[in-house]
Structure 1
Amino acid sequence: MNSEKTTTIPAIRSWLGIPYATAKRFHKPVLLPFNPDLPYDQKGPAPLQAGDTSWLEADNGFSEDCLNLNVWAPEHAGGQPLPVIVYIFGGGFELGSNTQTTSNLSGLAASGRCIGVSLNYRLGPFGWLSLSQYGGELAEASNLGLQDIITALRWVQQNIARFGGDPQNVTVTGHSAGAYCTTALIAARAADGLYHRLAAFSGGASRIVPAWWAEELAITFLTELGIADDPKQLFTLDAKLLAETLIRVSPRDIGDRHGIDNTTIGIVNDHAQIGAVIEDTPLHILESGHRHNVDILFSTATNEADWWVINAIEKFDPGSIGNLVDELVKKSRIPRSHAQRIVAAYDVNGRTPVEVRGALFTDYFFTLPAARAALAHAAAGGNAYLLSVGPAEGAQAVHGTEMYGIVGQVRPGQSNEQATRDTFVRDTLLDFATGNYDRLWNAVTTKPISHGIGNSPYEPTAHAVEVLRTFEGIERT
């Protein structure tokens, strides 16, 4: 195996672009054996995707043939196998790659406490468009991106020992879409035994797409391409055209992506469909206690949805408080009287309508699902931890604020305060993955005990309690 040192101290070894599986378009992945004779000194191709890709540091371009992973290990790991941390990148199931700095786990491996793995999975139509209902050659096309992830975990089980890792001590972690994929593993029987702990950052046991919408989106997609009567043409059409078309026809607003029905792409509740991958929603599985032996960490930021307030204010602005009430009624089927009470709880302190929407959606989309999942897991006999990431100097606590910290990288130009906060996030993940729970805070009980880091605008546990009360009786998937 080829070794590549970095300037990080202690030194690490890296193996980049290892193919873990191969897959034909719209077919399930096929596990590949590891070839120890290749150099693995270059990143593999990033997943083919639409939009601006300049930020992904994809040195070897983009491809449908993207099922590769990277491994980082301390140069001197000692005689005992190390715990393994597997990272799943985010990007709304449409964007991202294991090539970017915020997917580089060399910072975790440099601690000497773990082996780091960062994987690619198929994006957009290739990984998340539900087509199994058409049968035939498309019968396997359900949650293909999640099938990719599960196959990568199978590869880890079979091969990580040769890199110094312990296949019986695997923590899967991810951010945003990667966090939703992480928690979805709970609901996938094929993933049983492939992981031992889960750490979900900015994505809880939620955002599951209903099967009815997945089929409707597929019809819209095929109609836009002019092949509604002949879906088999998908196998011959240009890949970039497919990626760009799905972006064009799928809902773009965060409210659509996180409402009760999650009308966008993502993990489909396909349990009753051909080629099913998950058996129920992750929250229902947690409530059942079937995965009570898996320890879980849920982390959210205090101002998640303010990313859209800051970066997409015109599209995110509801225009009025009344429009925000209407949105909760129509997109989440909340009775108007209840929707009005919820909005009133956030229409305080002189907030503008767009700021109200940001604060409300932060809690409805992130804080609430994390707290509910943690409480459900604890009630079923599981071990769950809640973390709340607040702002630091130069780093607002919006969606993505902790991404450098998760993988142990240094954000360029960071303040000392952010460095302290991100180091805490990194060390929390390492302590969790290595089973050093005495270094953590108290686990969730019948109360959503939450630990705060950064300059939090509230006491995290009290806030979680208040959010649970505000949204009591409101369902989420």
Structure 2
Amino acid sequence: MKPDNALNGKNDHTNNTDTTARAIRSWLGIPYASAERFRRSILLPFNPDLPYDQKGPAPLQPGDNSWLEADNGLSEDCLNLNVWAPKEAGDEPLPVIVYIYGGGFERGANTQTTSNASGLAATGRAIGVSLNYRLGPFGWLSLSQYGGAFADATNLGLQDIITALRWVQENIARFGGDPQNVTVTGHSAGAFSSIALLAAPAADGLYQRLAAFSGGASRIVPAWWAEELANKFLTELGITDDPEQLLTLDGKLLSETLFKVGPRDIGDRNGIDNTTIGIVNDHSQTGGVLVDTPLRILESGRHHDVDILFSTATNEADWWVINATEQFDPGSIDNLVDELVTKSRIPRSRARDIVAAYDVKGRTPVEVRGALLTDYIYTLPAARAALAHAAAGGKAHLLAVGPVEGAPAVHGTEMNGIVGQQRPRHSGEQAIRDNLVRDALLDFAAGKHERLWDSVTTEPVTHGIGNSPFDPSARAAEVLRIFAGIERP
């Protein structure tokens, strides 16, 4: 999107992704907080006199970053957000949809097209907000155990998100948004972060609805592993005896080093202990942000008044089957059984039965692993969380996004649709599917449940979008049966 802005209505433009698009206004790169390295973010006031006509810096992160569309580079000083609003607003304030990008807590930004929520505002039905949060060591490395200068350093990325939501509460009305009607949504790491808000008392009252795409009440990192990863990180840098050197070492070095020492395989990163970076179950640590795991909070009914949408793609892990075949391939069915035993502590006899449920239809071992991990990492946690929320008196909806012409239903397939964008050179079916995803989110954010499908009760009622290879409700029930009694949020 060409940057433009203005509270006074100058530099307006029309989003032409479809014939119903409306003129919008945008405010880009608004600083919402400041933060010193490894310190919690501090809320900043909004200055209406600045132009906000350029994207802000993207978060510092490893690797090639050309895909981030980061016009103003990368920086540790990245706590900015974008706001998009319809030019012609009605008398009533609009629902607010706050988008949190994914990227494994290591990559991503609010600068990329798949974070561009102008497509939501262009419908005239919502105010779109897209925020940055700190990544890698700056946002998700747990260092609070060292005390002193690191006393705040637990779940700093989540603390950034909460600070951004505080900014929305204080300022969104001036953009035409309703601060009492905020939906937080995200994809992958952004979805895990959205649902983690349930377990963070500091976020109470800052949102009314949560919509999690390809991530739910899971992937919570145990405190013991968070400390071990920090130790591996310091050891690699050679500063275990003097952690405070982290305050002055080159930021790019820190980013690249954590990426190097952290597990890379999706199975390692999503096993029962989630040995990676991410949201830490820090309730027993100094300065802890969470009071429990999100699933236990759902089971308790503490947030039964929060409506939740859980969405998964029908073949999530096939992204790795297709794009990282050699690294993802277990080599044999026996190796896959071993993986369930060692990484998720599933008894071997039961692990054999689980693998056998997926070793069908002539699948190769890599395809078996893709189908199994799709359900274990995504389908199962979504169904269990939705059922727990419903049992506690909450309203939960389950969505399954299926393949369409030109677009398989793998991890990330619906990212454009979530923010109301269209993928370049999309097929007609893909345009329809992405618009259905967009409109479902808009209906959900507006509280128009009568325009959605049935919510979950005692059964995992699931609505399908696209050409699903199975009945989504029946499949969710089957996955619950396959993994019955197996510990997994």
Both proteins in one fold, TM over 0.5: yes
Per-residue deviation at 1:410? 1.0
> Are 2:406 and 1:394 equivalent residues in the alignment?
yes
1:171 counterpart SS class: strand
Q: Is the 8 A contact 1:15 1:41 kept in 2?
A: yes
Per-residue deviation at 1:6? 2.7
AA partner of residue 404 (structure 1): N
> Are 2:73 and 1:61 equivalent residues in the alignment?
yes
Per-residue deviation at 1:255? 0.3
Worse-matched range after superposition: 59-68 or 4-13: 4-13
Correspondence 1:223-302 to 2 at 5 A? 223-302=235-314
Instruction: Provide the C-alpha distance between the structure 2 equivalents of 1:324 and 1:97, rounded to a whole number of angstroms.
Output: 34
1:5 aligned residue: 12
Q: Percent identity?
A: 79
Of 327, 340, 355, which aligns to 1:328? 340
Correspondence 1:402-417 to 2 at 5 A? 402-417=414-429
> Are 2:105 and 1:98 equivalent residues in the alignment?
no
Q: Is the 8 A contact 1:170 1:197 kept in 2?
A: yes
1:131 aligned residue: 143
1:244 counterpart SS class: helix
Correspondence 1:134-153 to 2 at 5 A? 134-153=146-165
1:371 aligned residue: 383
1:219 aligned residue: 231
Q: Is the 8 A contact 1:209 1:266 kept in 2?
A: yes
Q: Is the 8 A contact 1:87 1:172 kept in 2?
A: yes
1:323 counterpart SS class: helix
Instruction: Provide the C-alpha distance between the structure 1 equivalents of 2:329 and 2:304, rounded to a whole number of angstroms.
Output: 41
Instruction: Provide the C-alpha distance between the structure 1 equivalents of 2:429 and 2:94, rounded to a whole number of angstroms.
Output: 30
Q: Deviations over 1:31-58 (max 9, x none)?
A: 0000000000000000000011000100
AA partner of residue 276 (structure 1): G
2:84 counterpart SS class: strand
AA partner of residue 260 (structure 1): I
Per-residue deviation at 1:476? 1.7
Of 181, 189, 206, which aligns to 2:201? 189
Q: Is the 8 A contact 1:205 1:283 kept in 2?
A: yes
AA partner of residue 362 (structure 2): G
Instruction: Provide the C-alpha distance between the structure 1 equivalents of 2:488 and 2:245, rounded to a whole number of angstroms.
Output: 36
AA partner of residue 29 (structure 2): G
1:170 aligned residue: 182
TM-score (norm 1): 0.99
Per-residue deviation at 1:413? 0.6
AA partner of residue 322 (structure 1): D
Instruction: Provide the C-alpha distance between the structure 1 equivalents of 2:395 and 2:87, rounded to a whole number of angstroms.
Output: 33
1:142 counterpart SS class: coil
Correspondence 1:332-351 to 2 at 5 A? 332-351=344-363
Of 25, 37, 40, which aligns to 1:25? 37
Per-residue deviation at 1:78? 1.2
1:363 counterpart SS class: helix
1:437 aligned residue: 449
Instruction: Provide the C-alpha distance between the structure 1 equivalents of 2:205 and 2:83, rounded to a whole number of angstroms.
Output: 20
Instruction: Provide the C-alpha distance between the structure 2 equivalents of 1:107 and 1:85, rounded to a whole number of angstroms.
Output: 11
Instruction: Provide the C-alpha distance between the structure 2 equivalents of 1:4 and 1:406, rounded to a whole number of angstroms.
Output: 25
Instruction: Provide the C-alpha distance between the structure 2 equivalents of 1:383 and 1:202, rounded to a whole number of angstroms.
Output: 19
1:70 aligned residue: 82
Instruction: Provide the C-alpha distance between the structure 1 equivalents of 2:22 and 2:327, rounded to a whole number of angstroms.
Output: 46
Instruction: Provide the C-alpha distance between the structure 1 equivalents of 2:352 and 2:23, rounded to a whole number of angstroms.
Output: 56
Q: Is the 8 A contact 1:4 1:12 kept in 2?
A: no
AA partner of residue 195 (structure 2): T
AA partner of residue 35 (structure 1): N
1:382 counterpart SS class: coil
Q: Is the 8 A contact 1:303 1:359 kept in 2?
A: yes
Of 353, 371, 374, which aligns to 2:365? 353
Instruction: Provide the C-alpha distance between the structure 2 equivalents of 1:247 and 1:290, rounded to a whole number of angstroms.
Output: 36
Per-residue deviation at 1:323? 0.2
1:72 counterpart SS class: strand
Per-residue deviation at 1:151? 0.1
1:206 aligned residue: 218
Q: Is the 8 A contact 2:158 2:193 kept in 1?
A: yes
- The alignment's C-alpha RMSD in Å is 0.6
Q: Deviations over 1:270-306 (max 9, x none)?
A: 0000110011110000000000000000000000000
Q: Is the 8 A contact 2:273 2:344 kept in 1?
A: yes
Per-residue deviation at 1:5? 2.2
Per-residue deviation at 1:415? 0.5
Instruction: Provide the C-alpha distance between the structure 2 equivalents of 1:326 and 1:388, rounded to a whole number of angstroms.
Output: 29
Q: Is the 8 A contact 2:95 2:445 kept in 1?
A: yes
Q: Is the 8 A contact 2:14 2:122 kept in 1?
A: no
Instruction: Provide the C-alpha distance between the structure 1 equivalents of 2:356 and 2:89, rounded to a whole number of angstroms.
Output: 55
2:4 aligned residue: none
Q: Is the 8 A contact 2:402 2:469 kept in 1?
A: yes
Q: Is the 8 A contact 1:16 1:43 kept in 2?
A: yes
Per-residue deviation at 1:221? 0.1
Q: Which runs of 5+ in 2 are unaligned?
A: 1-6, 16-20
> Are 2:94 and 1:79 equivalent residues in the alignment?
no
Instruction: Provide the C-alpha distance between the structure 2 equivalents of 1:265 and 1:28, rounded to a whole number of angstroms.
Output: 18
Structure 1 segments, 4+ long, off by >2 Å, are: 1-7
Instruction: Provide the C-alpha distance between the structure 2 equivalents of 1:430 and 1:277, rounded to a whole number of angstroms.
Output: 30
Instruction: Provide the C-alpha distance between the structure 2 equivalents of 1:328 and 1:180, rounded to a whole number of angstroms.
Output: 22
Correspondence 1:98-117 to 2 at 5 A? 98-117=110-129
1:35 aligned residue: 47
